[in-house]
Amino acid sequence: MVNVSSPEFRDSLGMVVARTIYSNFVVTIFTSGIQCFMAFYCVTIFLETPKEARKGRIPYIVIGCMIFVVYTLGACTDVSIPFDVLLKASNGIEFTNEYSMPDWRDYFSLGCLTLLLIIGDGVMLYRCYLILSGNWRWLIGLPLITYLGTIALSIYHSVILFQDKGPALFNAMEGTRVALSVITNILITSFIAFRLINAHRHLSESLNSQRVAVYKTAAHIVIESALPLAIAGILYAALLYADMSARIRRVDVRGIFAAGGAMAALYYAFLAISPQMIIFRVTTGRSWMKPASSSSDSDAFSRSLAFTRGVPAEQSLYLSNVGDDSDAARDGSSNERSDSDQGSAKGGEKV
């Protein structure tokens, strides 16, 4: 049985905290670099696109840049904290004591994370509102409730940090907030994917499969962007509750803390990258489930879309990634029309 009150254990725990925080910030800075590439690459492709094809795409580019800026500001602020702490600490106990002291940068970082949740989940909620229509529109109320709950808990999370009510309550609120965010993403992703797959199944019975492939591919985009965030969030929330339970029972938390720090880095990385993945996927026409087309990236972005009548125009901004299939379908239909016109002309000559 480990004596969690002994100086040896506290010093060892402090060193684990220091290593975990360092590893976490390495992943955070690496994630900022990935987002920098994705955001500026999307902007570059957008600027290469003809003006007539840019309509409706500016908000998505702006949102992608906002996510990158907010995440990077929070990352740079977080990285500066251990630098000051390490100058004052000479062992694990001193590091833990110095790092647990509230600082304005902690509140700023939590504010950035809250803003990321509002932007990322808000964009997903808006997409879900556009996709759901008619009798399905009421379903938006379920993720809306969890979305508002996530924002409320994020604000209360900052209040707990300010009042310094202890790590157990802090982790409990963090775990609940993450769980609500994961539930929001799972609900939104399920609704959107079900609606798109259902539309693909019904339309494929009456139309050419190439013309309705846009719905299936769009469902792939949503699932592949939300799945990593959901998995990381579930594991992170479970580790937070395990850490809280271990602290209450006063047992060794070093392994749980290290694992929780690793999952926290992945969760917050995917929290910012998941919305970017959709924007990047739509921009470049690439997906894990579908190989890249042979056309250029700028063509993939500016390629026009062909949808069945009755689908709202706003949805085309969300489903813009099947240019090759749509082009092939339009070329085939054009050839059929020209052939029928020629046949009619010949028939007229014979008469």
Distance CA 341, CA 318 (A): 35
pLDDT tens track for 151-208 = 998 888 777 766 666 677 777 888 888 999 999 989 988 888 888 877 777 777 666 6
- pLDDT by residue (tens digit) across 101-140? 878 888 898 889 889 888 888 888 888 888 887 777 888 8
Task: Find the mean pLDDT for residues 287-309.
Answer: 42
Residue type, 331: D
pLDDT in tens, 279-289: 887 766 554 44
* Spatial separation of the C-alpha atoms in residues 219 and 31, rounded to whole Å: 25
Q: What is the pLDDT of residue 304?
A: 39
> What is the phi/psi pair of residue 177, to 5°?
-65, -45
3-state helix, strand, coil in the chain (%, to 5): 80, 0, 20
Mean pLDDT, rounded, for 13-34: 91
Question: Which residue matches tokens 């808006």?
Answer: 126
CA 294 to chain centre: 27
CA distance 64 to 44: 13
Q: Whole-model pTM above 0.75? A: no
**Confidence bin at 212 (pLDDT 50/70/90):** low
Instruction: Please determine, for residue 219, whether its predicted confidence score (pLDDT) is greater than 90.
Output: no
Q: Tell me the DSSP string of 21-69.
A: HHHHHHHHHHHHHHHHHHHHHHHHHHHHS-GGG-TTTHHHHHHHHHHHH
Domains, the chain, in order of start with CATH, read: 12-321 (1.20.1070)
The chain-wide mean pLDDT, for the chain, equals: 76
235 pLDDT exceeds 90? yes
DSSP classification of residue 212: S
pLDDT at 169: 76
The predicted pLDDT at position 199 comes to 74
For residues 283 and 305, the model is more confident at: 283
Structure confidence by residue, pLDDT tens digits, 48-84:
888 877 777 788 888 889 999 999 999 999 888 888 8
**Long-range CB contacts (within 8 A, 24+) of 283-289:** 283/41, 283/42, 283/45, 283/46, 284/41, 284/42, 284/45, 285/321, 285/323, 287/217, 287/220, 287/221, 287/224, 287/321, 288/224, 289/217, 289/220, 289/224
Question: Collapsing DSSP states into helix, strand and coil, what is residue 229?
Answer: helix
Question: Would the pLDDT of 40 be above 70?
Answer: yes
Looking at 7-11, 201-205, 264-268, 300-304, which range is the least confident one? 300-304
